[in-house]
């Protein structure tokens, strides 16, 4: 029986995130204050008190979720009375950076700088090349991929997130995505809903962000991971620095294969999953992928006390 730590991505943020952990645990306070110093502004003020309009900006959201997730990961590592540990990790989009820090592939400081640059670059790419995303519910991956091909006459559009059975997100130009939504409705999708996002994430419209990220990765100290990290791009485990760098580079304009990732982990013997960080998004997705596995969430002090017995 193997245990995995999984880390949430953008969309899991909420006003007040990490605040109770900061007030309760000195280690979390040290991590958050270190992040404020590294970033050069008090991101904790936005995390704790909002406003939500600021917190949901891509360049703020991504480091905020990363900080929250790593604070919990470090709490687990630092407390000798906590007996849970991970045999592998994975993260949804942004969460892959948290998973890699938890696996020892790069430091918290370097991870935070990468995540901040990633968020800024994705935000700018969305300004330079406006696009959108949409959730398609109730259709198979094959049908949605075919819809994207058929809609490509209207503009760029591709699958961005294979989240769980029947839940797929598409991404691309505004015209391309809206045409695909029309086709999805004609194919009897249960829902085809445009999302409120600042760019077409995981699509070719993120190319400029991808190049900026690669330049930063080239000057970042990467280490082989201590445990396998299942990547978004391949849905398979990696440990070597070359594979890690390539996966992070390709991730920005390729789909997040989350359903396939979890299926592969379960097939590899993982039966217990802990989501570390804000919200419950991944817990919900994993339950839909396989309701038989054990799933826990660690977000608040209450969760820490209940799940970790500290």
Q: Please, what's the largest Cα pairwise distance for the chain?
A: 58
Any catalytic annotation for residue 202? yes
pLDDT above 80 (res 103): yes
pLDDT above 90 (res 43): yes
Residue 72 sits at the vertex; the CA angle it makes with 66 and 74, to the nearest 5 degrees, is 95
* pTM for this model (two decimals): 0.95
41 and 136 both lie in a single domain? no
What is the model's pLDDT at position 80?
Answer: 67
Tens-digit pLDDT profile for residues 56-86: 999 999 999 999 999 999 999 887 677 789 9
Of the ranges 73-82, 148-157, 181-190, which one carries the lowest mean pLDDT score? 73-82
In CATH, what number is assigned to the domain containing residue 140? 3.30.70.250
- Residues 6 or more apart whose CB falls under 8 angstroms from that of 242 comprise none
Both tokens assigned to 282: 């991944």
Ramachandran angles phi, psi of 189, nearest 5°: -60, 145
First to last CA, the chain: 24
Mean pLDDT, residues 149-167: 96
Contact yes or no for 208/128 (Cβ under 8 A):
yes
Q: Output the CA–CA distances (angstroms, integers) from residue 60 to 3, 13, 96, 123, 163, in the order listed.
A: 30, 10, 17, 10, 23
Q: Among residues 121, 173, 202, 203, which one is catalytic? A: 202
301 and 176 both lie in a single domain? no
> In whole angstroms, how large is the CA radius of gyration of the chain?
19
115 and 135 both lie in a single domain? no
Any catalytic annotation for residue 240? no
What is the model's pLDDT at position 99?
Answer: 98
Tens-digit pLDDT profile for residues 200-233: 999 999 999 998 999 999 999 999 999 999 999 9
Confidence of residue 30 (pLDDT cuts 50, 70, 90): very high
Nearest residue to 88 via CA among 72, 74, 75, 104: 104
What is the model's pLDDT at position 145?
Answer: 97
Confidence of residue 198 (pLDDT cuts 50, 70, 90): confident
Note down the domain range covering 162. Answer: 131-195
Q: Among residues 93, 98, 105, 121, which one is catalytic? A: 93
- State the alpha helices, DSSP H only, in the chain: 19-24, 26-39, 43-49, 52-55, 58-78, 95-102, 108-128, 141-151, 174-186, 207-218, 241-251, 258-267, 281-289, 301-308
Number of domains, the chain? 2
Nearest residue to 70 via CA among 43, 45, 99: 99
153 and 102 both lie in a single domain? no
111 and 52 both lie in a single domain? yes
Rounded to 10°, the helix 108-128/95-102 angle is 170
In CATH, what number is assigned to the domain containing residue 209? 3.40.366.10
239 and 191 both lie in a single domain? no
Domain end, chosen from 157, 174, 195, is at 195
What is the 8-class DSSP label of residue 256? B
Share of the chain above pLDDT 70, in %: 99
């Amino acid at each position: 029986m193997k245990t995995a730590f999984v880390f949430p991505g953008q969309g899991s943020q909420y006003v007040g995130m990490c605040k109770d952990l900061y007030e309760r645990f000195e280690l979390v306070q040290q991590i958050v204050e270190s992040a404020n110093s590294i970033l050069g502004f008090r991101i904790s003020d936005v995390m704790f008190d909002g406003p939500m309009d600021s917190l949901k900006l891509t360049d703020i959201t991504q480091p905020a979720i990363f900080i929250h997730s790593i604070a919990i990961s470090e709490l687990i590592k630092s407390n000798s009375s906590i007996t849970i540990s991970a045999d592998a990790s994975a993260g949804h989009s942004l969460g892959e950076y948290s998973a890699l820090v938890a696996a020892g592939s790069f430091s918290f400081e370097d991870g935070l700088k990468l995540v901040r640059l990633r968020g800024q670059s994705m935000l700018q790419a969305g300004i330079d090349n406006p696009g959108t995303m949409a959730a398609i519910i109730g259709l198979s991956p094959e049908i949605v991929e075919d819809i994207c091909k058929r809609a490509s006459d209207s503009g760029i559009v591709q699958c961005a997130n294979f989240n769980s059975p029947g839940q797929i997100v598409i991404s691309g130009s505004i015209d391309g995505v809206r045409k695909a939504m029309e086709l999805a409705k004609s194919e009897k999708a249960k829902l085809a809903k445009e999302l409120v996002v600042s760019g077409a994430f995981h699509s070719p419209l993120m190319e400029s962000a991808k190049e900026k990220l690669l330049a930063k990765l080239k000057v970042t100290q990467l280490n082989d991971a201590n445990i396998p990290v299942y990547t978004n791009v391949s849905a398979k485990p990696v440990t070597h620095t070359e594979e890690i760098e390539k996966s992070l580079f390709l991730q920005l304009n390729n789909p997040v294969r989350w359903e396939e990732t979890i299926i592969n982990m379960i097939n590899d013997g993982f039966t217990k999953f802990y989501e570390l960080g804000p919200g419950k998004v991944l817990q919900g997705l994993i339950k839909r992928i396989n309701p038989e596995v054990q799933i826990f969430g660690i977000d608040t002090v209450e969760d820490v006390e209940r799940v970790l017995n500290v």
